[in-house]
Every structure is written in C-alpha cells, then in structure tokens.
C-alpha cells in the first residue's frame, strides 16, 4: 500500500518512503501538531487484516513504549486508521549499519563505539525483560552525529515473570565488573 507524498495518516502528512521490509513500510512524515519530522511504520496491506500480525504490531508498540534509552528509537504514538495500525517513531537521520558496512569497513575505534552502543541498548531492553530476536545490521541505525539506535522490536520476546527476566547481575549484555575488567565469557 505505498502511500504517496501528501497522503495523511491521522494528522501526520506522508513525505516519502524510507524503506520496506517483510512486514511493513516506513515513511518519513511530518507531525503538524509538534512541527517535527517523524518516522511512520505501517503494516503491509496484505497483512493489515491478519489478527496475529496486528497483535504483533501492537506488541511492538508496547515494547517500544516500555523502553526509554538513548540507543533505542523512541515511539511517539500508535494509532489505527482505515489503512490499518501504524507506529509513529523518532526519525533517525543517517544510515543503517548494513549501509555503513557496505560503504567501507569501519575503523576499530568506530566498530567499538558502535558495538558499545548496541550492547547498552540491548542491556536496557534485557533489564526490562525484553529480548530483541531480530538484531541485524539493517535494524541498527547510525545517526549523522554517530549515535547508534536499535530499531525494529517487532519480533521481541517479553518475559512475563520476574524469575525469567534478566537482571543487572545476569543480563547477557552486562559482562564487566564495576571496575571494567572483563569477566570470563564476556562478549566485549
């Protein structure tokens, strides 16, 4: 269901298509209420009537709303229109990690900066009992200022009980002591 520039979803004005994936399309849009550019993610038309897909999309909105971290894209709104449900998110200007890797190999310093920010985002999610489950270079955006944002929590797994959710002491991304020394089995 490609939306043309000028189309409206709620009060949001579509400006251009940013990209498309297996389940949805992402558009650059304008929020006239707050006078800012945003990203809008919609389900593909073929999936907009499937209850399981809509439920997964709503779950993605809830997951994003539960996360508040500098390295995770912020959700601003979730709405249903005649075209189906859509997410309104922070627009991250820049390239995906996949695009960055395709352009040229990053330096060791840049690689470490990117990896640290990804690990911090995942740690924040794990602290809330959320596992991403679709982490790949195409789902990581590097903003023009170098800040990394993890995107697309559509396949995230939420642990319901406190016993099964990671804590600060057993989070899979928290592998350093308070002094910064690497523990056995640490990833970074």
Amino acid 50: pLDDT: 82
Q: What is the average pLDDT across 22-30?
A: 92
In this structure, is residue 121 part of a structural domain? no
Phi and psi torsions of 81, nearest 5°: -125, 180
Query: Is 114:106 a contact under the CB 8 Å cutoff?
Result: yes
Read off the pTM: 0.80
Q: Is residue 25 part of a domain?
A: yes
Angle, alpha carbons 172-174-180 (nearest 5°): 150
DSSP 8-state code for residue 133: S
Helix, coil or strand: residue 90: strand
- Mean pLDDT in residue range 125-147: 95
What CATH number does the domain containing 26 carry? 3.30.200.20
Range of the domain at 44: 8-90
- The structural domain count of the chain equals 1
Give me the catalytic one of 31, 49, 134, 152: 134
Residue 134: active-site member: yes
């Amino acid at each position: 269901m490609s939306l043309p520039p000028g189309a409206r979803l709620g009060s949001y004005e579509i400006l251009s298509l940013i990209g498309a994936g297996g389940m949805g399309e992402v558009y650059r849009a304008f929020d006239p209420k707050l006078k800012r550019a945003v990203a809008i993610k919609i389900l593909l038309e073929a999936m907009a009537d499937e209850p399981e897909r809509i439920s997964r999309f709503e779950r993605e909105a809830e997951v994003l709303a539960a996360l508040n971290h500098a390295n995770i894209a912020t959700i601003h709104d979730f709405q249903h229109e005649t075209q189906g449900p859509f997410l309104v998110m922070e627009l991250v200007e820049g390239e995906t990690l996949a695009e960055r890797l395709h352009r040229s190999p990053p330096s060791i310093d840049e690689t470490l900066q990117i990896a640290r920010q990804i690990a911090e985002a995942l740690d924040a999610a794990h602290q809330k009992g959320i596992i991403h489950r679709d982490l790949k270079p195409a789902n990581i955006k590097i903003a023009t200022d170098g800040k990394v944002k993890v995107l697309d929590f559509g396949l995230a797994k939420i642990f319901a009980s406190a016993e099964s959710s990671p804590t600060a002491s057993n989070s899979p991304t928290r592998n350093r002591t308070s002094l910064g020394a690497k523990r056995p089995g640490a990833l970074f």
